[in-house]
């Protein structure tokens, strides 16, 4: 690597070192610290790990968070795909650009504000239940349920997944799609045998982003899910609030990081895996 | 045109001359203003408190009268407060508002300065307990000055739960409110209430193993009724929009604000008893502004300060001085009546304390806060 190339790469290396690796190592080290009189003391003790890993509620939160993030990833991927497909293959370049611009607009406003706005829609006296009431249905409890949480996650993530999927699909070589059609593939087979495999990397990366962001999100499960049951980010907050147990919260955070590393590594392996030759 | 300055030999142009003159005149004219502004710069007071205490409705008049400016940092919960102080150098906070049960820990850790009892109106207290509030004194030394209090009990939607039903914590288990009972997300008040419901009375915080297990069992039996766990904002919202029809762990400090807004909610002290939250002011260790902080605490204990505290926009509270109560009745009789702060009212908060229906909030005696929090996490996950 020449000096010029290194100079260009240096900012991101320094940035990642200072603001990712540094804090990560500190967090891992902190998980071994102790808290005495609300003050953290440097130590190398396994007490926090032993305590947190043997608590049933920690594992309940873990599996619940994992399940919720996986569910929203599946839902977001399936809901986003038809829209992304239409934007990639059925509309003009200009329309696609406008659509992507419109999909970005929600990010201009605070996620917290967007989440709170769902109160008006999901409440028992809210828009949905009032609508259902006119045809004699409901009211249904939507707030403070996993449904509310998933709606909150989708508020944040659906536009992002649509954008990433659209970019992945739009970059497919149309000649290959056309060739499949010319060779007599029906539309369904073209989709699953040609389009999806060609866009696989982008589709998996979109799903991965969805999983990572929902796994670590605090706002939706707290404000729309009623913290019932708490997800891991809520557990982190609870742990720090009571007795300022930052080291125990760090244990939960490290658990989350390890999980995300494992899932991200698997996803990237799947995304870039080459098909074995026949 | 240009002239040569004979003394320095430098060239003085017309433009430079005009610039210099303008600067000199401008500076001369501005000097008194700058000097007066500098001399009038308000003294900054750093405050550590629950939300609302550093807002204009509380401190605005004091700031104006004393040329000070409060710089509040808000916390949520005594643990959080202790941690913020522990992580800051001495002198960071001039004035600290603490929940009474945490004052002892503030003092033990050396985070607060002693106060002179002669500076405060102990002879005007509405109740004798307030003059020697638990944990505020270390022997004859005063460390914290109580300024306000409120009571926690059954908070409910008046359309879903009748006033008669609300006279017992049992109403939280009412089948009609299944999935509609909310929790303020803090273990201490809720578990205290469950302890009261179990009949532990004045010993609600002093639980042996058997009683602690019984409290856990009672609390767990409430879990199917629970619709969510909420922070301050969530508690307000869910009660206001009717998502939650009863709320455990709060009192008039939330429903009082909603009532003023027209929401059909109320708080009562049930027959099993209620819990008192108490807020007290301390002077931070190492504060260089102890004199003005003392003046501020005196102001908050004055009739004017007590009325402001009782009417606080963020959350109302009860007066602790006779002068404060009289001023509240005179200034805002409706609020005094709404909160039963009228002499002779059977639900007068002072009468409730004297009758033994109110118990001061404390931390667990035989368990650690961590034990309670662990159970709280289990409960939330159940």
Tell if the CB–CB gap between B79 and A119 is shorter than 8 Å. no
Tell if the CB–CB gap between B380 and A55 is shorter than 8 Å. no
pLDDT grade for B2, boundaries at 50, 70 and 90: very low
- How close A90 comes to chain B (CA, Å)? 43
Instruction: Give tens-digit pLDDT for B352-367.
Output: 999 999 999 998 999 9
Instruction: Give tens-digit pLDDT for B181-223.
Output: 999 988 999 999 999 999 999 999 999 999 999 999 999 999 9
B31 pLDDT exceeds 60? no
Q: Report CA dihedral (A236, A238, A241, A245) to the nearest 10 degrees.
A: -50
Which superfamily does A55-272 belong to? MetI-like (1.10.3720.10)
- Scanning every residue of chain A, which has its alpha carbon at the shortest distance from the alpha carbon of B375? A57
Residues B125 and B101 in one domain: yes
Residues B217 and B293 in one domain: no
Residues B169 and B209 in one domain: yes
Residues B159 and B82 in one domain: no
Best mean pLDDT range from A10-14, A140-144, A164-168, A243-247: A164-168
- How close B151 comes to chain A (CA, Å)? 22
- How close B49 comes to chain A (CA, Å)? 16
- Provide, as residue numbers in chain B, all residues whose Cβ is less than 8 Å from the Cβ of A243: 79, 369-370, 373
Instruction: Return the domain boundaries, chain A.
Output: 55-272
- How close B370 comes to chain A (CA, Å)? 7
From CA B2, how far away is CA B5, in angstroms rounded?
A: 10
Residues B80 and B193 in one domain: no
Nearest to A61 among B237, B376, B381 (CB): B381
Tell if the CB–CB gap between B228 and A228 is shorter than 8 Å. yes
Domain CATH code at residue B336: 3.40.190.10
Whether residue A228 lies within 8 A of chain B, CB to CB, comes out as yes
B34 pLDDT exceeds 90? no
Residues B137 and B233 in one domain: no
B333 pLDDT exceeds 80? yes
| Domain membership of residue B224 as a residue range | 151-273+361-381
pLDDT grade for B23, boundaries at 50, 70 and 90: low
ipTM of the complex in this document: 0.76
Question: Residue B353 domain-assigned?
Answer: no
What's the number of domains chain B is made of?
2
Residues B323 and B242 in one domain: no
Tell if the CB–CB gap between A227 and B82 is shorter than 8 Å. no
Q: How many CB pairs under 8 A join A and B?
A: 96
pTM as predicted: 0.80
- Provide, as residue numbers in chain A, all residues whose Cβ is less than 8 Å from the Cβ of B181: none
- Provide, as residue numbers in chain B, all residues whose Cβ is less than 8 Å from the Cβ of A229: 380-382
Residues B191 and B262 in one domain: yes
Nearest to A123 among B241, B376, B381 (CB): B241
Residues B178 and B285 in one domain: no
Using the Cα atoms of residue B47, residue B48, residue B52 and residue B58 in order, give the sign of their dihedral.
negative
Residues B107 and B240 in one domain: no
- Provide, as residue numbers in chain B, all residues whose Cβ is less than 8 Å from the Cβ of A125: 241-242
Question: Residue B21 domain-assigned?
Answer: no
Would strands B181-184 and B265-268 be described as parallel, antiparallel, or unpaired? unpaired
- Provide, as residue numbers in chain B, all residues whose Cβ is less than 8 Å from the Cβ of A222: 231, 234
Which residue of B102, B228, B244, B373 to mutate against A (max A Cβ within 10 Å)? B228
């Amino acid at each position: 690597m020449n000096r010029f190339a290194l100079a260009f790469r240096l900012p991101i290396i320094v940035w990642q070192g200072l603001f990712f690796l540094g804090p990560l190592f500190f967090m891992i080290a902190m998980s071994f610290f102790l808290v005495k009189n609300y003050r953290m003391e440097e130590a190398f003790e396994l007490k926090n790990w032993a305590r947190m890993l043997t608590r049933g509620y920690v594992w309940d939160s873990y599996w619940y968070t994992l399940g919720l993030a996986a569910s929203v990833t599946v839902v977001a991927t399936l809901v986003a795909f038809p829209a992304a497909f239409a934007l990639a293959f059925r509309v003009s370049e200009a329309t696609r650009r406008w659509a992507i611009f419109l999909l970005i607009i929600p990010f201009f406003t605070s996620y917290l504000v967007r989440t709170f706005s769902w109160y008006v829609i999901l409440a028992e006296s809210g828009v949905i239940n009032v609508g259902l009431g006119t045809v004699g249905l409901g009211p249904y409890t939507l707030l403070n349920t996993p449904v509310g949480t998933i709606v909150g996650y989708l508020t944040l993530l659906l536009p992002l997944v649509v954008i990433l999927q659209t970019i992945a699909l739009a970059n497919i070589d149309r000649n290959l799609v056309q060739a499949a059609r010319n060779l007599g593939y029906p539309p369904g087979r073209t989709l699953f045998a040609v389009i999806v495999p060609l866009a696989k990397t982008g589709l998996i990366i979109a799903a991965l982003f969805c999983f990572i962001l929902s796994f670590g999100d605090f706002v939706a499960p707290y404000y729309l899910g009623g913290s019932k049951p708490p997800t891991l980010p809520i557990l982190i907050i609870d742990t720090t609030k009571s007795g300022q147990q930052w080291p125990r919260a760090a244990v939960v955070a490290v658990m989350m990081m390890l999980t995300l590393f494992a899932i991200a590594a698997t996803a990237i392996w799947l995304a870039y895996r080459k098909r074995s030759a026949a | 045109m240009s002239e040569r300055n004979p003394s320095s030999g430098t060239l003085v142009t017309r433009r430079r001359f005009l610039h210099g003159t303008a600067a000199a005149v401008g500076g001369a004219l501005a000097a008194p203003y700058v000097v007066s502004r500098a001399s009038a710069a308000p003294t900054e007071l750093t405050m550590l408190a629950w939300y609302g205490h550093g807002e204009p409705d509380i401190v605005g008049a004091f700031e104006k009268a004393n040329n000070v400016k409060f710089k509040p940092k808000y916390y949520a919960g005594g643990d959080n407060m202790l941690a913020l102080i522990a992580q800051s150098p001495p002198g960071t906070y001039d004035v600290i508002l603490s929940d009474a049960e945490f004052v002892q820990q503030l003092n033990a850790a050396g985070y607060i300065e002693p106060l002179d009892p002669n500076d405060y109106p102990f002879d005007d207290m509405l109740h004798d307990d307030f003059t020697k509030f638990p944990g505020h004194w270390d022997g004859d030394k005063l460390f914290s000055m109580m300024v306000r209090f409120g009571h926690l009990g059954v908070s409910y939607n008046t359309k879903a739960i009748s006033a008669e039903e609300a006279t017992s914590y049992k109403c939280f288990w009412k089948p009609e409110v299944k999935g509609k009972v909310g929790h303020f997300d803090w273990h201490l008040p809720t578990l205290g209430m469950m302890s009261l419901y179990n009949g532990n009375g004045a010993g609600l915080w002093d639980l042996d193993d058997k009683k602690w297990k019984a409290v856990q069992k009672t609390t767990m039996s409430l879990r199917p009724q629970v619709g969510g766990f909420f922070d301050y904002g969530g508690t307000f919202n869910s009660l206001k929009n009717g998502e939650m029809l009863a709320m455990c762990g709060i009192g008039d400090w939330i429903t009082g604000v909603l009532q003023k807004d027209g929401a059909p909610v109320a708080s009562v002290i049930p027959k099993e008893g209620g819990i008192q939250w108490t807020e007290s002011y301390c002077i931070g260790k190492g504060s260089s502004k102890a004199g003005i902080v003392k003046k501020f605490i005196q102001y908050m204990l004055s009739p004017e300060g007590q009325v402001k505290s009782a009417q606080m926009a963020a959350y109302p509270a009860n007066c602790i001085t006779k002068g404060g109560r009289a001023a509240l009745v005179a200034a805002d009789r409706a609020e005094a009546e709404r909160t039963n702060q009228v002499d002779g009212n059977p639900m007068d908060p002072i009468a409730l304390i004297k009758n033994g229906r109110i118990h001061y909030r404390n931390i667990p005696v035989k368990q650690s806060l961590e034990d309670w929090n662990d159970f709280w996490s289990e409960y939330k996950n159940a």
